[in-house]
Amino acid sequence: MMERGLVRFLFLILAVAICGAASVFQPISDSHRSAALDVFVPVDGSYKSLEEAYEALKTLEILGIDKKSDLSSATCENVVKVLPLSSSTLKDALYALSVNGILKCKSGEDVPKDIVSKLQTGVKEAKLLLDFYYSVRGLVLVKEQFSGTDISLGDAEAVFRSIKALSQSDGKWRYSPNNPESSTFAAGLAFETLAGVISLAPSEIDHSLIQTLKTGITKLFDSIQKYDDGTFYFDESEGPISTTASVIRGLKSFAASESTGLNLPGEKIVGLAKFFLGVGIPGEAKDFFNQIDALTCLEDNRFSVPLILSLPSSVISLTKKEPLKVKVSTVLGSKAPALSVKLAQALSSGSKGSSVINNQELKFDAESATYFLESFPKNFDVGKYTFVFEILLDESANEKAYITEAQTKVPIAATGAITIENAEIAVLDSDVGSVESQKKLDLTKDEAVSLSANHLQKLRLSFQLTTPIGHVFKPHQAFLKLKHESQVEHIFLVKTSGKKSELFLDFLGLVEKLYYLSGKYEIQLTIGDASMENSLLSNIGHIELDLPERPEKAARPPLQPTDPYSRYVPKAEISHIFRIPEKLPAKQISLVFLGLIVLPFIGFLIGLTRLGVNIKSFPSSVGAATSALLFHGGIGAVLLLYVLFWVKAIGSVHDSKGTVFAGSVSVVRRTQNTVSPRSSIEQAEICLKDIYSSL
């Protein structure tokens, strides 16, 4: 059961790899909305900076997630602190106004005069592109948020020329007049800034300056980069997401402020949209914001709105007779205008240039906003295809300038149940090729076939695979596995030739590969393909092989890998052998015996007093008496050691009759050699043990 589950899992991986490797783009969906809540997580109800707060609030607002009530209190406190302060930086002022535009912390006519004065001064004194950007964009936000505020640039054209002086001939811009290095990211900032200058100008800017700027935009698009799947992007040190988003924001702002509009190549605009959709779900908050903000600019602009063709599923099951479904929407998933979708071609990967379907118009379902093809032609078979779609806009019904690709190519995988027929396994004689034993197989279930062969025979396995319309099917992978009793495995590929898939194993030529291992081999067949809905892993049975003895110089079978989790298996219990404890008397008897030993010593002391021995000088205090006893006891122990030594040297032993014999000279020699003057204390203890044991 586990092996069959593994086959299904491998089939799923193959299908995802084949269909996911091509360019299938989906608009923003609920997955982005759920991911945004994990990416933009405030700390204690607020964000580290007003810039992070603006990016989070802007992204959540675009995705339709209402978090203003949770963030407005702490964030508005920061906004109210920054706006009145004349010491605030231009960057802080800009993002404070940006957050204020979302949360409405300060509104109406209560405009902070200090911040307006600071922004106007910033425009006059600016030399760097970023200073122009923060000051001009800040003034634009003040004009939008505070009604009745008359903010205009007195010498707007001079400011425009000062900013334009930072442009380069290739369409890129510099951050500083003293820095010759140009940047595409800076170009996006410049477009936004110039758009703000145009909106704040009391009169129209010189048209020649506007035209020169449009020429620079056209040149900037000449440096755009492209992937093979039709996606376009700008790339620099800031990264492709940030750089491309900066350019798109600038283009949207400039197109909104300029009345004549921009004429940008539609193919590249669609390619920019596909680039951001192809990113997936970014893990970084900055990239997430740039992706959503850039797609919003493409969704709502005055130059062109790209439409994206997407498929709910790029896998079609012929067994279930699933229809082909297609959706056309904007990048944020909004409904597309009136249009028609046509399947121009359905190119099979196995054929050269031949199309299975030609110029088939799809029907439209208004409820699901889906275009679908109900049925496929009879010659449509399983396999991998490239569907070529064409979108035809009803331009009379569109107010916006929608654009699409001329042709959208989408990879499609058609799957179905493959018929398995004429499966058999046989053992053949090597000389004449006659069949010695043959078994019919049902590969849809496990078999219990039992075969036997020697090294002079062959094994043949054959079967036929056909598609739902009767064509020969060549699977992506088909292999036979022989597994020996010792767990040594051998894999052999099954090749398809003509209408039959067949495998011959000549054991005479395989003895070395089989390591001359005779015995029982389990037989297992695996057939799998991304287009095959009934991929299988079938246990056929076993074969007993009788192979020659292994020569001395022949290769030995490799060591089989051990289970990595075996190291965590409980170890065998360690049993220790201890000396059997000796039998001891009861505790009460031992105490009585101790008392009997102490009594003679007490009697000895009493006897000394009776004999008149002078012991008046013996110390009477506890400390001095203890020291004296230890001193005399140590001397007595040394004397006792000598006594025991000489008792062993001249001691007697008793024979079985009890006769006493004097110690021999050899005993004395042995004893003297045992305890020499140079012997250690440990050797003396050993000698004493020998003495005690012989007594």
At 494, which CATH number?
Answer: 2.60.40
**Strand ranges (DSSP E) for 330-400?**
339-348, 355-361, 363-365, 370-373, 383-393
Same domain, 318 and 358: yes
Closest to 137 in 3D by CA, of 228, 217, 40, 253: 253
3-state secondary structure 87-103: CCCHHHHHHHHHHHHHH
pLDDT in the model for residue 7: 39
Inside any domain, residue 1: no
- Looking at residues 256-278, what average pLDDT do you find? 86
What pLDDT shows up at residue 107?
A: 59
Which helix (H) or strand (E) segment holds residue 666: the answer is helix 665-674
At 98-135, the pLDDT tens digits run 988 888 887 555 666 778 888 888 889 889 999 999 99
Number of C-beta neighbours around residue 318 at 10 A: 19
pLDDT at 574 over 60: yes
DSSP 640: H
Per-residue pLDDT at 664:
39
Say whether 266 sits in a helix, a strand or coil. helix
User: What is the per-residue pLDDT for 583?
Assistant: 83
| Claim to verify: residue 404 and residue 525 sit in the same structural domain | no
- Reported in sequence order, the residue ranges of 416-456 that DSSP labels E, i.e. its strands, are 419-429, 435-440, 449-454
* 650 domain residue, yes or no: no
For residue 693, is pLDDT > 60? no
Q: From its phi and psi, is residue 150 left (phi > 0), alpha (psi between -120 and 50) or beta? A: beta
More confident residue, 655 or 28: 28
Distance CA 653, CA 663 (A): 8
In this structure, of 264-273, 345-354, 473-482, the range with the lowest mean pLDDT score is 345-354
Assess whether pLDDT exceeds 50 at residue 20: no
Enumerate the H helices of 150-239 as residue ranges: 156-164, 184-200, 207-222
pLDDT digits (tens, 9 = 90+) for 75-92: 888 888 887 776 778 898
Q: Nearest 5°: phi and psi at 138?
A: -65, -40
State pLDDT tens for residues 153-173: 878 889 999 999 999 989 999
**Per-residue pLDDT tens digits for 361-411:** 999 998 888 999 988 998 899 999 999 999 998 876 565 688 888 889 999
Both 140 and 163 in one domain: the answer is no
What's the length of the chain?
695
pLDDT of residue 5: 45
pLDDT classification of 683: cutoffs 50, 70, 90: low
CB-based contacts of 24, cutoff 8 Å, min separation 6 = 310, 311, 314, 410, 411
Structure confidence at residue 481 (pLDDT): 95
**Strand order from edge to edge, sheet including 457-466:** 435-440, 419-429, 457-466, 500-506, 495-497
Clarify whether residues 429 and 403 are in a common domain.
Answer: no
Render pLDDT for 598-653 as a digit per residue (tens, 0 to 9): 788 788 778 877 887 776 777 878 888 888 889 888 988 888 888 788 767 555 43
Query: Which amino acid appears at position 563 of this protein?
Result: D
Q: What is the mean pLDDT of residues 311-333?
A: 91
Whose CA is closest to 336, among 288, 403, 383? 403
Using DSSP's 3-state secondary structure scheme, residue 691 falls into helix
Owning domain of residue 56: 43-150
* Same structural domain, 322 and 291: no
Do 119 and 93 form a contact (C-beta atoms < 8 A)?
Answer: yes
Residues 193 and 69 in one domain: no
Q: Which residue has the higher pLDDT, 71 or 223?
A: 223
Query: Closest by alpha carbon to 525, among 508, 541, 507, 537?
Result: 537
Res 618: pLDDT: 74
What is the pairing mode between strands 402-403 and 305-306?
parallel
State yes or no: pLDDT of 525 exceeds 90: yes
pLDDT mean across residues, the chain: 83
Judged on CB neighbours under 10 Å (0-12, 13-18, 19+), 340 is middle
Classify burial at 393, counting beta carbons within 10 Å of its beta carbon; exposed 0-12, middle 13-18, buried 19 or more. middle
Q: Among 415, 446, 462, give the residue marking a domain's end.
A: 415
pLDDT above 70 as % of the chain: 86
Inside any domain, residue 642? no
Residue 347, in any domain of the structure: yes
- Asked if 520 contacts 484 with a C-beta cutoff of 8 angstroms, the reply is yes
pLDDT at 399: 56
Q: Would 677 be classed as within a structural domain?
A: no
CB 317, CB 533: distance < 8 Å: yes
Beta-bridge partner residues of 658: none
d(CA 463, CA 501): 5
Within 8 A by CB and 6+ apart from 560, the residues are: 486, 487, 488
Of 375, 397, 415, the last residue of a domain is 415
The answer to whether 387 and 358 have CB atoms below 8 angstroms apart is no
Helix then strand count (H, E) for the chain reads: 18, 27
DSSP-H helix ranges across 476-621 = 507-510, 587-611
Does residue 562 surpass a pLDDT of 80?
no
CA quadruple 571, 575, 576, 582: dihedral positive or negative?
positive
The better pLDDT of the pair 522, 42 is held by: 522
Sequence letter at residue 594: L
Single residue among 117, 150, 183 that ends a domain in this structure = 150
Do both 267 and 162 map to the same domain?
yes
Predicted structure pTM score: 0.69
Query: Residue 11: which H helix or E strand, with range?
Result: helix 2-21
List the structure tokens of 100: 């204020």
- What does the alpha-carbon distance between residue 442 and residue 359 come to, in Å, rounded to a whole number? 43
Q: What is the widest separation between alpha-carbon atoms in the chain?
A: 145
Arithmetic mean of pLDDT, 190-209: 89
Section 19-44 average pLDDT = 79
Which residues face 393 on adjacent strands? 339
For residue 684, being part of any structural domain is answered with no
Do 318 and 440 have their domain in common? no
Tell me the two tokens of residue 327.
């959706």
Please tell me the predicted confidence (pLDDT) of residue 473.
93
- Residue 510 has what pLDDT? 92
Instruction: Confirm if 319 and 533 have CB atoms less than 8 A apart.
Output: yes
The structural domain count of the chain equals 4
Residue 374 CA, chain-centre distance (Å), reads 39
Residue range 525-553: mean pLDDT, rounded: 92
Rounded Cα distance between 486 and 34, Å, is: 52
Residue 634 lies in a domain: no
Beta carbons within 10 angstroms of residue 295's beta carbon: 24
In the block, which residue shows the tokens 């004449």? 432
In this structure, the answer to whether residues 358 and 377 fall within a common structural domain is yes
**Does residue 403 sit in the same domain as residue 451?**
no
Distance CA 93, CA 131 (A): 12
Q: What is the pLDDT of residue 420?
A: 93
**511 and 390 share a domain?**
no
